[in-house]
Structure 1
Amino acid sequence: MASAPQNSLPLFYNDLMPLNSRDHANWKAKETDALPWLATANAIPLTIDEFPLAQRYLPIVFSSGDNPIPLGLMGLNEGVNVYVDSDGRVTGPTYVPAYVRRYPFMLTKLTPDATDLSLCFDPTSGLIGEFEEGHALFDGDKPAEAVERTLNFCEQFDQAAQRTKMAMDEFKKHDLIMDGEVSIEHNQSEQPFVYRGFGMINEEKLRELDAETVKQFNQNGLLALMHAHLFSLNMTREIFGMQVQQGKGPVSQQAATDVQADAPAAAETAKPKKKKK
């Protein structure tokens, strides 16, 4: 997995605009099951709150770099998502991360020194605009119910993101994250397919933790989260099989392959390109 992209906008977001009743009084949000931007996304950010559900469907790994974040793999190779079709429609049972369900909205600071977060959206998403049908965003100068629900969801997401950062800090503090590797045998290849470029919990160091730290991790739930992550790695072989079945897997391989996944820019540092006038 690569480091965070160079631009300041997180994964999927092409622009950010503050939502306000003056400029968007007649705008609506439409529902759709087609998410074309998801069709080529193989790694999606996760919060630790999602580990118990996500582990049943997605391998949970960590991005590389100095500030790793949890990622749910929806494919092992760049541009591959085995759970959606070319239009971004979910084709089978899976877990859709909250990061995906939050889009095109997010909470962020309008200026570096701002103390409050503002609800912004990506105007390029095609999901918000002056449509004839859809959920109204405002009732007069007050947020409509759809916006209130969205705001509540984004607030919960940000709170979970803060808990996730604290968990990752603990993992780093105890040097529990190591470079990961998965080797998968396939009958159409003489050599195994080896995937690298991601982080995972070091089980050996986990077993060597002192009793007090283990007790602490057990009490605050981090121990269960680490086990959920480790159990989820078995899903890499399931996803590899799905890639082959869908014709999205590599035919042959002579060398190890990095799991292609960029850690998105942090929501807190993203700056809207278009500011409220």
Structure 2
Amino acid sequence: MKQVLVYERPVPIHRSRHRNLRVRPSVGEFSFARQINSVPLVGSEFAAAARDFPIVFAGASTASMMPAALLGLTQDENLFVEADGRWADEVYVPAFLRRYPFVVAEHATGEDLTVCVDEAAIDDADDALPLFQADGSESPMLRHAIEFLGEYQKDVQRTRAFMEQFAHHKLLVEKVIRLERPGNEPATLSGFSILDETRLNALGAKSLQTLAKSGALGLAYVHLMSLTNVQRLSARMDRKHKGTGGLH
């Protein structure tokens, strides 16, 4: 399995091979996410995430785009991981990060899922938690992780459904964040899209009704409102680096 963002060496969990394996969950410690400037989101997170982050859309093509929370305005910097590895106080932690060190690998059919663990989280310390109990059954930690991953994947499928609607109506447009900081060369952050509000408002009544019935319309407006958080990210970066930024 290839590396996926914060996951360095994800491998499928094997009941016999990993019988005595212990891992250290990311409870309150997010150093592993220090160098990512965005993280995937699912639709059920929009309301909570929109309070703190700009919600954008990222992917190799319009057809494959998914929502993401923008965590920083420059490459390889997460503005919400503090120096000691803690997540910033009173800021929402996306589910993608809360599930670490566990993740699922989707098979080509899209039906079967394999639970994986990041080998980088393996820890032999006595206070690390086992994956399996003495009788070979899943430990409470692993059972909780499997349940969490199952619900998360259901949300992923629901999110893909409303993204298909956005793509069908050609609502996604590329956007660039331009950063202008005193004493530094201007920089840009690209590779993501947002919804075109003008195109959204120009849709016919039938299309809007379909979007509303599926819940996609409400999520669209939450996304658009979240974009004002670019200024908050800029101010956060300014406090850290004494610079400024904006969306152009």
Could you state the TM-score of these two structures normalised by the residue count of structure 1?
0.78
Structure 1 unaligned spans of 5+: 1-6, 259-277
Quick one: distance in 2 between partners of 1:202 and 1:38?
30
Within 5 A, what are the aligned runs for 1:153-172?
153-172=148-167
Instruction: Provide, for residues 189-215 of structure 1, a one-character-per-residue CA deviation record: whole Å limited to 9, x for no partner.
Output: 8x9986544200011110111101111
Of all paired residues, the percent bearing the same amino acid is 27
Instruction: Provide, for residues 129-157 of structure 1, a one-character-per-residue CA deviation record: whole Å limited to 9, x for no partner.
Output: 43311333212111121111100001111
Instruction: Provide, for residues 227-250 of structure 1, a one-character-per-residue CA deviation record: whole Å limited to 9, x for no partner.
Output: 010000000001101101111746
1:35 is matched with: 30
Cα 1:123–1:197 change in 2 (3 A) is: closer
The number of residues matched between the two structures is: 244
1:173 is matched with: 168
2:56 is matched with: 61
Within 5 A, what are the aligned runs for 1:16-27?
16-27=10-21
Cα 1:148–1:182 change in 2 (3 A) is: same
1:221 is matched with: 215
Q: Name the amino acid aligned to 2:112.
A: D
Question: Cα distance, 1:24 vs. partner?
Answer: 2.2
Q: Name the amino acid aligned to 2:70.
A: L
1:147 to 128, 142, 145: 142
Structure with the higher fraction of residues in helix conformation: 2
Instruction: Provide, for residues 99-153 of structure 1, a one-character-per-residue CA deviation record: whole Å limited to 9, x for no partner.
Output: 11112111225x75796322111102x3x34331133321211112111110000
CA RMSD in angstroms comes to 3.0
2:112 pairs with 1:116: yes
Quick one: distance in 1 between partners of 2:39 and 2:93?
9
Within 5 A, what are the aligned runs for 1:40-119?
40-66=35-61, 67-109=64-106, 116-119=112-115
Cα 1:208–1:154 change in 2 (3 A) is: same
Quick one: distance in 1 between partners of 2:54 and 2:132?
39
Moved more, 33-42 or 72-81: 33-42
Cα 1:210–1:121 change in 2 (3 A) is: same
Structure 2 unaligned spans of 5+: none
Using CA pairs under 8 Å that are at least 6 residues apart, name the structure with larger relative contact order, 1 or 2. 1
Could you state the TM-score of these two structures normalised by the residue count of structure 2?
0.86
2:232 is matched with: 238
Question: Cα distance, 1:88 vs. partner?
Answer: 2.9
Cα 1:147–1:202 change in 2 (3 A) is: same
Cα 1:16–1:210 change in 2 (3 A) is: same
